[in-house]
Amino acid sequence: MPSWLLVLFDRMAALAGDDEPHLARLLPELEVVVHGGVHFAPYRDRFARLLEGSHAELREVYAASEGFFTMADRGSGEGMLLGLDRGLYFEFVPAGELDAPQPTRHWLGDIECGVEYAIVMSSCAGLWGHVVGDTVRFVDRAPPRLLVTGRTSYMLSAFGEHLIDAELEEAVSAATGVIGALVTDWSVAPRFPARAGERGHHLFVVEFTASPGADAAARFLSVLDAALADTNDDYRAHRSAGVGIEAPRLLVAPPGAFAAWMKARGQLGGQHKVPRIVNDATLFASLTDHVDAGRPVAD
């Protein structure tokens, strides 16, 4: 996963005595960097800097415990090619029907591009009608190419805003691009009003490679807020009605805060993913505790 690759490359640079990792110098014969598991958009600029001067290429894959599903055979955003010869049978349920008593189960012959589907699969290893837990959107049918858009269980809707992780990922990516920042990791959680008359908001915890100044942080939140409103009607309605949710807020995490948090939870490295949407207040409190613990003590 991109986040753990960054940890590895940063450690390699430290051992080599470099302030910043450059793969052309650390791994001059590197041909390809394979990544997957999480949405890549927030990491794209960081990896572009890592690969400056290197001839290595990036290739995204979609590999799960249940099987190897897709691999990138085109450029970024053009979808990954679905593997049809690996003993897996795929069905696709419209995401909005997943909890219905008898949801519609499409096969590759009648899927539509641009529709959000949950993947259901059967395999020669014994899985039958298994809901993988990911959502996808097809960009091509012949051959089938898709984008992974999120998790069926991931939604930020404490106030009726119905934000999915793909929308949040793209908004974070757009905001970091505008301020010229690079992101190591991030999470978001709802913050509920503490007193009568207050409104709730979303708190984004973001670990940048270099801490932005106050003006850049304000610009980050402004672009983030606008991007979410542009892509999600429910969010826009709740933000503009004056009675819904307040503007998002930002907590900047010091370097290494997310890695320390994941390590404390016994989830450092491997296939463990930093949760983007944290609806568990206790879990989110443990993250903010690690952020506070990693801050330098003021004189």
pLDDT tens string 194-253? 776 678 899 999 999 888 989 999 999 999 999 999 999 889 988 886 667 899 999 999
Set out the domains of the chain in order of their start, with CATH numbers.
Answer: 1-64 (no CATH), 84-152 (no CATH), 155-293 (3.30.300.30)
Q: What is the reported pLDDT for 299? A: 31
Per DSSP, the chain holds a count of helices (H) and strands (E) of: 8, 13
Q: What is the pTM of this model?
A: 0.67
Starting at the earlier edge strand, list the strands of the sheet with 80-82.
32-35, 57-64, 67-72, 80-82, 144-151, 130-141, 116-123, 88-94
b vs e for 163-199, b when ≥16 Cβ sit within 10 Å of the residue's Cβ?
bbbbbbbbbbbbbbebbebbbbbbbbbbbeeeeeeee
CB atoms inside a 10 Å sphere around CB 256: 15
Beta strand pairing status for 201-208 and 249-253? parallel
pLDDT in tens, 278-299: 988 899 999 999 888 766 543 3
Angstrom distances, CA of residue 299 to CA of 31, 289, 296: 47, 20, 9
Q: Are strands 32-35 and 88-94 parallel, antiparallel or unpaired?
A: unpaired
Report residue 4 as tokens.
């753990």
pLDDT, residue 33, reads: 93
The pLDDT value recorded for residue 261 is: 93
Pick out the chain residues at pLDDT < 70.
153, 196-197, 241-243, 294-299
pLDDT at 166: 80
Q: Which residues contact 16 (CB under 8 A, 6 or more apart)?
A: 25, 26
Cα separation, 60 vs 63, whole angstroms: 10
Return d(Cα 64, Cα 290) in angstroms, integer: 29
Which pLDDT score, from 0 to 100, does residue 109 have? Answer: 92
CA atoms of 292 and 253, how far apart (whole Å): 8
Contact present, 1 and 271 (Cβ < 8 Å): yes
